[in-house]
Amino acid sequence: MAEPHAHLDKALTAEQVPNPGGDLMGAIDAWMTAASAGLFTPEDIANRATDALELLLANGATAVRTHVNVGAGAEALRAVREARSRMDGLLDVQIVALTSNPITGPEGRENRRALAVALEVGVDLIGGCPHLDPDGTTLMSDAFAAASDAGIGLDLHVDEVLDPEVLYLRELARMVTDGGFAHPVTASHCVTLGLQSPEVQAAVSRQVADAGVNVVTLPQTNLFLQGRNHPTATPRGLTAM
Ligand SMILES: [Zn+2]
């Protein structure tokens, strides 16, 4: 069994990092505040990540892909790499460099540098969140360029919002088709595809399939995070299934 989308640097911290609002931005803000306050040491991250991998293994997972925040430096990445090495031979673990926003434009310089450092330390894929960047299109094309240079794949957090106007998934598929990217591409979440008309869903799904883009839907995450301001008739926050 494979766990296709973990965040091992954040694993087992729900009680330490409360998210009173319960939504995605609340989770991100709570985590960033806790991390910048120095709440987590590299040793702590390595130990929690190891505990989480042991739990996954005990529940039958032998392959795990984890995103790791790299925007604030490579300490969390090194810690998760340490956890991976502790579990060597028991689990296959892929690490995605989850970049911070903005990563485009002049404001994104530090975050671009942080990605370069993460690539030096060693990751298996490049990640990121186009829907959280002022220029999501450039984020994606830069991510393809960086992944091509590094000879690795992409796994982006795509369209993790409830605004149907946001549909980076279509653009992502187009970039793969037009650019001929040679490595695996995964689109995680794809929440807004679930908000489109059946016609748009069918057309975009066809483009995604033709491009060979893998989609990971995350019901446990998005049924919890999305729709907090819709107390009734709450949208599901899931991609088209
Ligand atoms: Zn994620």
Q: Are residues 98 and 178 in the same domain?
A: no
CA of 222 to the centre of ligand 1 (A): 10
Residue written as token pair 């690795």:
152
Q: How many angstroms is it from 90 CA to the middle of ligand 1? A: 23
**CA–CA separation, 5 and 218 (whole Å):** 8
Instruction: State in Å: Cα 114 to ligand 1 middle.
Output: 18
Query: Taking the CB of residue 119, how many other CB atoms lie within 10 A of it?
Result: 18
In angstroms, what is the span from residue 24 Cα to ligand 1's centroid?
10
C-alpha 239 to ligand 1 mean position (Å): 14
Residue 125, helix vs strand vs coil: strand
Measure 94 CA to ligand 1 centroid, in angstroms.
14
Query: Is pLDDT at 216 greater than 90 in this prediction?
Result: yes
Question: If you measure from the C-alpha of residue 67 to the centroid of ligand 1, how many angstroms do you get, rounded to a whole number?
Answer: 6
Burial class (CB in 10 A: 0-12, 13-18, 19+), 214: middle
Domain-terminating residue out of 70, 94, 123 = 123
| Ligand 1 centroid – CA 158 distance (Å) | 10
Any domain includes 241: no
CA distances from 79 to 9, 39, 110, 224 (A): 8, 14, 21, 28
Together in a domain, 113 and 18: yes
The answer to whether position 218 is within a domain reads yes
Q: Is residue 240 part of a domain?
A: no
Q: Rounded to whole angstroms, how far apart are CA atoms 37 and 91? A: 32
Q: Across-strand partners of 69?
A: 98
- The residue range of the domain holding 24 is 1-123
Same domain membership, residue 192 and residue 101: no
Pair 235, 198: CB distance under 8 Å: no
Q: What is the pLDDT of residue 218?
A: 93
**101 and 199 belong to one structural domain:** no
Domain co-membership, 84 together with 199 = no
At residue 157, the pLDDT reads: 98
Per-residue pLDDT tens over the stretch 13-56: 988 899 988 888 898 899 889 988 888 999 999 999 999 999 99
Q: How far is the CA of 151 from the centre of ligand 1 (A)?
A: 22
Tell me the CA–centroid distance for residue 213 and ligand 1, in Å: 17
Element (DSSP H or E) covering residue 175? helix 168-179
Q: Which CATH number fits the domain that encloses residue 18?
A: 3.20.20.140
Looking at residue 142, its pLDDT comes to: 98
Q: What does the pLDDT look like over 178-204, one tens digit per residue?
A: 998 999 999 999 999 999 999 999 999
Q: Are residues 23 and 50 in the same domain?
A: yes
Q: SS3 of 214, please? A: strand
Residues 107 and 138 placed together within one structural domain of the fold: no
Same domain (yes/no): 96, 206 = no
Distance 238 CA to ligand 1 centre (A): 14
| DSSP state, residue 24 | H
SS3 107: helix
| CA-angle at 40, arms to 18 and 105, nearest 5° | 85
| Whether residue 176 sits in one domain with residue 193 | yes
Same domain, 1 and 114: yes
Residues 155 and 117 reside in one and the same domain: no
Domains in the chain, number: 2
| pLDDT bracket for residue 94 (50, 70, 90) | very high
Q: Of 123, 155, 187, which residue sits at a domain end?
A: 123
Question: Looking at residues 82-105, what average pLDDT do you find?
Answer: 98
Together in a domain, 146 and 87: no
- Which whole-number Å values give the CA distances from 130 to 19, 21, 51, 135, 215, in the listed order? 23, 23, 31, 7, 15
